[in-house]
A and B are shown apart, each in its own frame.
Chain A
């Protein structure tokens, strides 16, 4: 149980392109989803928290107009990196959790984004 699917696994695109990443909870209802990014050999960095049907809450320093998050249903959240540039290249990972804030977060497989 508690499977989170994230697509795509890899994206390589030109600078200026917008990229959408999907995160789906396959066997549970994800009241809350989280988006992280991770640079090589560094720790996870939380970008934003989203609750179904509400606007995402962004961490300090994360541009909300750059990283658009939509959590329209209890099983799907999307992250769109708008007008991506090389400095946005990173490993983006989503996680999902049920209703209770004490429950574990379950992670998707991550999306490796490379902007040329």
Chain B
């Protein structure tokens, strides 16, 4: 059973702090890694994707990938209350079209 694991949270951080969201995956052959943000009652929205080991930065967001450790993370700098949402980690399932989603980490940013 291929799995993507995330801590369900909530992860509470003060406004302006760095939020660190973590994800581990079981399929060593996975090549594509995605972070989606889902506000309550809404559909997921793509935040970042990463394919290679290392860091990838986009504005306040940084995705980090370590394939040897089967670990992917998302850092959110200068967290804002509007960042409060559930963050879903998704990993491609090898040899299929599918993504395997984690159950999500709920982030709360308080003023």
Name A residues whose Cβ lies closer than 8 Å to a Cβ of B: 2, 6, 32, 34, 43-44, 46, 49, 51, 93, 97, 101-110
Contact = CB atoms under 8 A, between A and B. Distances in A.
10 contacts: A43-B88, A43-B101, A43-B102, A43-B103, A49-B97, A93-B44, A101-B92, A101-B97, A105-B46, A107-B43
Give 4 closest A-B pairs by Cβ, nearest first: A110-B43, A102-B32, A107-B43, A43-B103
Contacts of A6: 43
A43 B103 CA distance: 5
Interface in B96-111: 97-99, 101-104
A97 B46 CA distance: 12
Given A102-B92, A104-B34, A43 B43 contact: no
Interface residues of B, number: 21
B26 to A, nearest CB: 16
Interface of B: 31-32, 34, 36, 42-46, 49, 51, 88, 90, 92, 97-99, 101-104
B43 A93 contact: yes
A85 to B, nearest CB: 23
From A34, A46, A101, residue with most partner B Cβ within 10 Å: A101
Contacts of B45: 107
Contacts of B104: 43
